[in-house]
Amino acid sequence: MYFITFLCILIFMKRDIYNKLIEWKNNTQRKPLILKGARQVGKTYLLKNFGANEYETVAYINFEEDPGLNNIFESRIQPEKIIQKLSIYLESTIYPDKTLIIFDEIQHSPQALNSLKYFHENANQYHIAAAGSLLGIKIGQSAPFPVGKVNFLDLYPFSFGEYLEGIGKSKLRHYLKTKKDFQPIETSFHEDLIDHLRMYLFIGGMPEAIVQYRSDGNLEKVRNVQKNLLEAYTFDFSKYTSKSEAIKIANTWHAIPGQLAKENKKFQFSEISKNVRAREYNEAIQWLADAGLAYKSFKIKAPRLPLSGYREDNIFKLFLLDTGLLGAMLDISQKTVIDGNRLFSEYNGAFMENYVAQELVSNNHKNLYYWSSKSAAEVDFIVQYKEQIFPLEVKAGISRKKKSLKVYGEKYSPLVLSRSTLMNFRKDDNICNYSLYGVSLFPLID
């Protein structure tokens, strides 16, 4: 019964990336597609739903469920023969241009991954979409990667806007999404959005957690879902790495929440263990980043273009992929959801910085940076957009203090300075305030 309810609710949970899938299908220069993302963010469901809606038939292949499928790709790779064998395996016909072929968990079949090159070069009339959670980890040593022969899309946990859609608040989401200026929005809508954001911080953006909340509103059950997801991720550490590496990855993973809760959120290896050296744990951090479980934000020496040329590789922050999972790891009580704005300021605003990092990444600002000075001023995010640089300071409450922004402004004289707070939208001279629920609009050039 729960499974049926789960599927029924998911039908109404359309993802923003869906339109990009349609663009991919209609593109005459289309290549086989690889949909990347952490485990349990909804890749399989999205592709199946896309295939059911936009194609006449769907051919679904899962390399984890049936490892024997690798045999089809082991001999000389000939796309037409592969299609013939897959049709026999599925007991259904695969049609050019009319069937969406889904290669799920493709990281378990390096040969199937390599075959995408030949499908692009010799049989591009077949529409292939592959999904994989650990492609940067599992693939690369045992078989060549089809560089330049595939298209990529990234799927993340539900953004706040997608969450609003998922809980049936599509009109409210549309109202926010179409905002083009810094005029304050109506007070009742502002307060409603703050309430939804508070709930989102607890529930997070993992599809199963949202489905559970929408089904009965029970936050205890939502927390159980989150804990099960965390356990599954921990299991992956040992499943895909050696024992010694799994221990390092687990230590790093469990250290992230505590480090975010500090006043200085810079990741410090000494917090894991006094005797830890950075080089011993760099691979563990990269594993988490490649798996989509953590986002790295680098400190920059100066806000100049390109930002990547001014980053300090050894100074960074680590954010989790989802605030709901962050709350579960910190064991935040569900009472904080109804306790005023406590959740926003809990743990030195760790939730708010993590939330903003998620929103930026899901809105195509995949490379995160921040700036700090020796005088302890810090601007939480620096974004490169349309050949300009935009600073963004994040505040957990409604404080109008902007010391760090002022220090930054006096030093670099940007055209605009931005903050994200619980206050309504507003603009004071060259300082723009994004209400936290609308940070996805950043940088909005008024």
Task: Report whether pLDDT(342) > 90.
Answer: no
Q: Which helix (H) or strand (E) holds 227?
A: helix 219-239
Could you tell me which residues come within 8 angstroms of residue 369 by beta carbon, excluding any fewer than 6 positions away? 297, 298, 299, 300, 307, 311, 381, 382, 383
Query: What is the predicted pLDDT for the residue at 242?
Result: 86
User: Which of these, 206, 241, 254, 218, lies nearest to 45 by C-alpha position?
Assistant: 206
User: Residues 396, 282: one domain?
Assistant: yes
Task: Name the 3-class secondary structure at 371.
Answer: strand
CATH of the domain at 48: 3.40.50
Which residues are registered as beta bridge partners of 319?
295
Distance CA 399, CA 132 (A): 43
Q: Mean pLDDT throughout 76-93?
A: 94
Check if the beta carbon of residue 428 is closer than 8 Å to that of residue 406. no
Same domain, 189 and 237: yes
Work out whether the CA dihedral 155, 157, 160, 164 comes out positive or negative. Answer: positive
Q: Decide which of 97, 120, 154 is a domain's last residue.
A: 154
H or E element that contains 412 = helix 403-412
Long-range contacts, stretch 426-433, CB < 8 angstroms, 24+ apart = 426/182, 426/184, 427/182, 431/402, 431/405, 432/182, 433/182
**Final residue of a structural domain among 154, 173, 204:** 154
Q: Is 252 exposed, middle or buried (0-12, 13-18, 19+ CB in 10 A)?
A: buried
- Is the distance from CB of 230 to CB of 330 less than 8 angstroms? no
Range of the domain at 214: 160-441
Is residue 1 over pLDDT 50? no
113 and 44 assigned to the same domain: yes
Taking only the tens place, the pLDDT of each residue in 168-226 is 999 999 999 999 999 999 999 999 999 999 999 999 999 999 999 999 999 999 999 99
> Looking at the domain assignment, is residue 12 inside a domain?
no
Query: Do residues 268 and 324 share a domain?
Result: yes
Contacts of 195 (CB under 8 A, 6+ apart): none
* In the predicted structure, residue 425 carries a pLDDT above the cut 90: yes
The rounded distance, in Å, linking the Cα atoms of 403 and 342 is 23
pLDDT band at 277 (very low <50, low <70, confident <90, very high): confident
What the block records as the tokens of 283 is: 């691979």
State residue 16's pLDDT score: 95
Does any domain span residue 368?
Answer: yes
Q: Do 414 and 319 belong to one domain? A: yes
**d(Cα 371, Cα 358) in Å, to the nearest integer?**
18
Place of tokens 């089904």: 215
Q: Give me the residue label for tokens 């921990």.
A: 234
94 with 199, same domain: the answer is no
Q: Please check whether residue 409 lies inside any domain of the structure.
A: yes
For the sheet with 294-300, list strands across it.
311-320, 294-300, 368-372, 378-379
Q: For the ranges 2-11, 68-77, 182-191, 426-435, which has the lowest average pLDDT?
A: 2-11
Q: Are residues 60 and 204 in the same domain?
A: no
Bond before 32 cis per omega within 30 degrees: no
CA distance 348 to 300: 22
Distance of CA 326 to the CA centre of its chain: 14
Average pLDDT on 393-400 reads 76
27, part of any domain: yes
Is 435 a domain residue?
yes
Please, what is the average pLDDT of the chain? Answer: 90
Residue of 117, 106, 116, 115 lying closest to 139 (CA atoms):
106
What pLDDT score does 398 carry?
Answer: 63
Is the pLDDT assigned to residue 275 strictly greater than 80? Answer: no
Q: What are phi and psi of 145, to 5 degrees?
A: -95, 140
Q: What is the average per-residue pLDDT within 387-403?
A: 82
Mean pLDDT across 419-441: 94
- pLDDT score of 4: 45
Same domain, 150 and 223: no
Q: Is residue 359 part of a domain?
A: yes
Q: What is the pLDDT of residue 142?
A: 52
Same domain, 257 and 115: no
pLDDT for the residue 132: 85
Structure tokens at 336: 């904080």
Same domain, 265 and 340: yes
- How far, in Å, CA of 47 to CA of 424, rounded? 37
**Average pLDDT value for residue range 88-110:** 95
- Give which of 287, 225, 292, 295 is closest to 256, Cα–Cα: 295
Q: What is the pLDDT of residues 129-172, one digit of tens each?
A: 999 887 766 554 455 677 789 999 999 999 999 999 999 999 99
For the chain, how many structural domains are there in total? 2
Domain boundary, last residue among 122, 154, 186: 154
In a domain, 4, yes or no: no
Mean pLDDT along residues 14-21 = 94
- If asked whether residues 173 and 321 sit together in one domain, one would say yes
Determine what percent of the chain is predicted with pLDDT higher than 70: 93
Are residues 143 and 166 both part of a single domain?
Answer: no
What is the arithmetic mean of pLDDT over 348-364? 92
Q: What's the one-letter identity of residue 249?
A: I
- CB burial of 138-149 (b: ≥16 within 10 Å; e: otherwise) equals bbeeeeebbeee
Query: What is the pLDDT at residue 11?
Result: 47
Is 5 domain-assigned? no
